[in-house]
Chains A and B, each alone.
Chain A
Amino acid sequence: MSAAELARLARAEERILELAAGLGLSFLPQEFDVVSEQKMLEIMAYRLPVNFSHWSFGRDFEIERTRHEHGYAVPYEVVFNSDPVRAYLMESNPYPIQVLVMAHVYAHNDFMKNNRHFQHSRRDMIGLASEAASRFRQYEQDYGREQVERIIDAGFSLQWDLDPEEPMHRESERGTRERLFGWARESPPEGSFSDLLPTPAPVSTERKRELRLKTPPAPTLDLLGYIIEHSPRPLAAWEKDILGVIKSQALYFLPYRRTKIMNEGWATYWHERIMQRLFQEGFLSSEEHGFYNLYNARVKAHLPRQLNPYLLGFALFKDLKQRWDKGRHGAAYEELEEQRQREAWDLASGQGTAKLFEVRRTYMDWFFLEEFLSRELMEELELYLFLEKDQGAHYDTVVEETDWRTVKRLLVRSLMNSGVPRVRVVDGNYRDSLQLYLAHEFEGLPLQEDYCLRTLQHIHQLWKRPVLLESRQQEGERMQRKLFIADGSGVRVNLD
């Protein structure tokens, strides 16, 4: 990229910032790095600009490269919730795409600065990952590449089994015990309403003894964290470090996973407005604007076998603005039966923009769709559920369900806990013999057995003592209890 091109981009960036601020967005400091295609693909595959080595990143790198070479390329954007927010521009992209990416990134920046789920992230993650990468290289030299790889394999298999609330209120094990004992409440805080606070029920001595010894004191979703601290194997310091890095990176990416549709929708919603203004002000020639339109259409394209978060999120925010501008919400509107009446409804309440910013501050995808994905919007987008049907020689992708209620119910369910089954550590000293007892909370779907067994193998590799996982599945009318076991002799499933 020549100096003149860089200067032109810098002028566009300056204007984007002004326009975005004028639209009500607010930002953390923003930096863009211009990088080669190779580096861009690496950042996407490795999740962070510099990260440790692992074959799965290599696999993803190859997938990204193949996609790129086959021209599936949409304008790549990578942006990190760091301070300053760091984003990447691929050097080979034409000017209008660079401008589009910058406008898009500024809206992401606003989202990450203001959405509550991003508030507890480590904003120094880029540097932490780079440091971890050099430590891991040393571990490879000291303990062998295979050994390091095995630990990373195991860590990755548990990376999404997190307590999403952990960064918001970390509680030590001791703190948990005290809370459960109710000791914290024995002397109620001084205050005018202290008499209204519930008096803690007295805890029996027996229960106290149990609570004092029980590990963990209360079931925890933080599998990796619990294993790092309590594994009887025991884990070496370098192994704990590797697992800890994997956990902290997963926690860092969790808000992205929980707000994918919102975040991309938000960025797309605003980049369209900003790009329109830039065109009007002459920052883009009409030829460049045409080029932008083409790419923008690709960004928002319908995908037959995948929900496009850019499209869905964009449509939701656009709809939200319109509905709150016209007052199309609340019981009076919802109870209207007739389509004509609904369409004619306009209270001119003008609350749209305010609602957008309110939703952006507090929601995540699960609640966002649950609350705002309307029947009208679903039918406009023609959302459907498809199944892969075995046709002998091949699979047909068949539209199975288009009824909005059913599709919405299933779609929202798939976003619950970012689609990760909730598995908790119940007992780290099961049968008083340091066996690890896990329990899966049944939320309507059973665990996939093969994946479950392989994941348990990884846990057993870290825990060394037998690992048990209790789950349930619907078996006709009744619920069947299922016990997955991993020990020295392998893995198996016992049914009740």
Chain B
Amino acid sequence: MAILKPDYDSSPRGAADAARHREKIRDAIRANLPEIIGEEAIITREGRRLVRVPVRGLKSYHFIHSDGLEGGFGSGQGKKGSVIGQRSKEGRPGQAGDQPGIDYLDTEIELEALIQMMLQDLGLPNLKEKQARETLVPQGWKYESVEKSGIRPRLDKLRSLKEAIKRTEVLVGELVRQSGKGEEECRDALERARGSLPEALRLLREGELREGSAGEPRAAEAPPRRIFLDSPDLRFRTIQQDVETHSNAVVLAMMDVSGSMGLQQKYLARSFFFWMVSFLRTLYRQVEIRFIAHTTEARVVDEEEFFHKGESGGTYCHAAYELAARLVAAEYPTDRWNVYPFHFSDGEDWAVERTLQAVRALLDQGVAALGYGEIQSEYSSSTLLESLRSGLELELRRSEGFAWYEGRYRDIPLLGLVIRGKEDLYPALRAFLKPEKQPSGVK
């Protein structure tokens, strides 16, 4: 028997292997990005920087029994049928048939880190702010430069005195050179002449300096030397308006909220908007998002209403584009804002020609890019995407099993997408983010 206090190797092995574990989590997240970005928990998160994501593949796998049920044994008070606890579903896929808690390990990651991973995965690691349109934002006033003329209130005393000192020293030097007298004598002469060079020279030449003055006992502390301030010495500040260059963006989120757009369709639109805004935030200092809901008429609504309320009735898509155009004219002039209108609908439109006109009108205002996403459901009768394709001469593109339309209207990138389910989100975002989708230059 013994109680010892041994000296153990204190190298933090646990911390090192924990770091390796976190590294593996990140790898797993990276490997599952297309699934993870559809996670409801991320999209609906409120203002938190950390998001919970489910990660596959970090469990240790063994042969285990399956009883088809998730449960176990407990003890203590428990009447048959009573609920003794709750477990949040957050961060787990909602599909039927997923066994809760078996396959997934929840982990937290910063949203910012997740976005960086996605950008890397999409091959866009360095989205540059300079690609964006910049605007000047007044920041008040600031002093700009110093001038020789100006008004009294902006007299820069320090600068003026510095000028006077410089000039006095030049004059003393000149007196020494021209009169051949000592520096102290010249300085005295200048003082007596009150700063005038010819007068001081005259005094020196005429020897009118009092004999005694040179011999006067000087105090141990020499009196401060005189400086002669004259009008040429005066310096005045100028002021100027202070402006900073900012890059701002606004997403005009437009969506058909008529009956045929179900919750699942709206969820897909919401996910797309969420990531679109998240990406634009890495690009612009300020990103706003405005919501326009439409049926046959369009209204600016708040986010809650946009995604959660449904209406019945028909569908005029032009209403949304026309409202967007008015909003841009009134609040988001395109010389100061990068405007990204993006419209989701199920494709139904009762007045396609007019919609096409409205789209052209919006494009003529000079938006940064314009996108349309059709969320297909079993009820949809697509007319809009086809008309946009022919009307705006969009071309079919394919990459990694995903097809979309793209084109340009006077150099404005255009995008047409079809989204059928969660699995289309990632390729849709990739199409949106392709480098040539970025606005082509700084205006």
Residues of A that sit less than 8 Å from B by CB: 1, 6, 9-10, 13-14, 17, 29-36, 38-39, 41-42, 45-46, 49-50, 53-59, 61-62, 65, 89, 91, 153, 156-161, 302-308, 311-312, 381-388, 390, 393-402, 407, 410-411, 414, 419-421, 423, 440, 445-452, 454-455, 458
Contacts and interface: CB of A to CB of B under 8 A. Distances in A.
Contact of A395 (B19, B61, B100): B100
B63 A58 contact: no
B82 A398 contact: yes
B17 A396 contact: no
Contacts of B4: 31-34
B126 interface: no
A420 B62 CA distance: 9
A451 B8 contact: no
Contacts of A382: 75-78
A46 B17 CA distance: 10
A23 to B, nearest CB: 16
Contacts of B19: 58
A303 B74 contact: yes
A312 B74 CA distance: 10
A305 B74 contact: yes
B79 A399 contact: yes
Contacts of B2: 30-32
B63 A420 contact: yes
Contacts of B83: 396-399
B1 interface: yes
Contacts of B20: 53, 55, 58
Contacts of B73: 306-307, 383-386, 407, 410-411, 414
Contacts of B10: 36, 38-39
B220 interface: no
B86 A160 contact: no
A381 B78 CA distance: 10
Given A386-B71, A447-B65, A304 B84 contact: yes
B61 to A, nearest CB: 4
B80 interface: yes
A308 to B, nearest CB: 7
B81 interface: yes
A440 B64 CA distance: 11
A487 B62 CA distance: 18
Interface residues of B, number: 54
Given A30-B1, A33-B4, A447-B63, A384 B87 contact: no
A216 B298 CA distance: 76
A419 B66 CA distance: 11
A161 B17 contact: no
Nearest to B66: A448
Interface string B1-31: 1111110111011111111110010000000
B103 A450 contact: yes
Nearest to B68: A446
Nearest to B67: A445
Nearest to B9: A50
Interface of B: 1-6, 8-10, 12-21, 24, 58, 60-67, 69-89, 100-103
Contacts of B58: 59
Q: Top 7 nearest A-B pairs by Cβ distance?
A: A58-B17, A302-B76, A448-B66, A61-B14, A397-B85, A58-B18, A387-B71
A347 to B, nearest CB: 30
Nearest to A410: B73
A385 B12 CA distance: 41
Nearest to B105: A59
Given A386-B84, A387-B70, A399-B81, 7 more contacts: A34-B4, A61-B17, A160-B62, A307-B72, A394-B88, A397-B84, A401-B80
Given A57-B17, A304-B76, A448-B64, A35 B8 contact: yes
Contacts of A401: 80
Contacts of B74: 302-307, 383-384, 386, 399
Contacts of A402: 78-80
Nearest to A14: B1
Contacts of B13: 42, 46, 53
A160 B67 CA distance: 19
B61 A458 contact: yes
A397 B82 CA distance: 8
Contacts of B12: 38
Contact of A448 (B18, B65, B72, B77): B65
Contacts of A400: 71, 80
Residue with the greatest number of chain B CB neighbours at <10 A, chosen from A39, A407, A423, A447: A39
9 contacts: A31-B1, A54-B17, A159-B62, A160-B62, A302-B77, A383-B74, A394-B88, A399-B84, A402-B78
A386 B24 CA distance: 33
Contacts of B72: 305-307, 385-386
Contacts of A445: 65-67
B75 A307 contact: yes
Contacts of B78: 304, 382, 384, 386, 399, 402
Given A6-B5, A33-B4, A398-B82, A45 B14 contact: yes
A87 to B, nearest CB: 10
Nearest to A391: B86
Contacts of A39: 8, 10
A50 B10 CA distance: 11
Contacts of A446: 65-66
Contact of A398 (B14, B15, B16, B81): B81
Residue with the greatest number of chain B CB neighbours at <10 A, chosen from A38, A161, A386, A449: A386
Residue with the greatest number of chain A CB neighbours at <10 A, chosen from B63, B85, B86: B63
Nearest to B17: A58
Given A30-B1, A449-B66, A394 B61 contact: no
A211 B347 CA distance: 71
A395 B101 CA distance: 10
Contacts of B71: 385-388, 400
Contact of B1 (A29, A160, A455): A29
A305 B85 contact: yes
Nearest to B2: A31
Contact of B65 (A303, A395, A421): A421
Nearest to B6: A33
Nearest to B18: A58
Nearest to A161: B63
A454 B59 CA distance: 10
Contacts of B14: 38, 41-42, 45-46, 57-58, 61-62, 65
B63 A53 contact: no
Given A17-B1, A39-B8, A452 B67 contact: no
A411 B8 CA distance: 41
A1 B1 contact: no
Given A55-B17, A383-B75, A445-B66, A388 B87 contact: yes
A399 B71 CA distance: 9
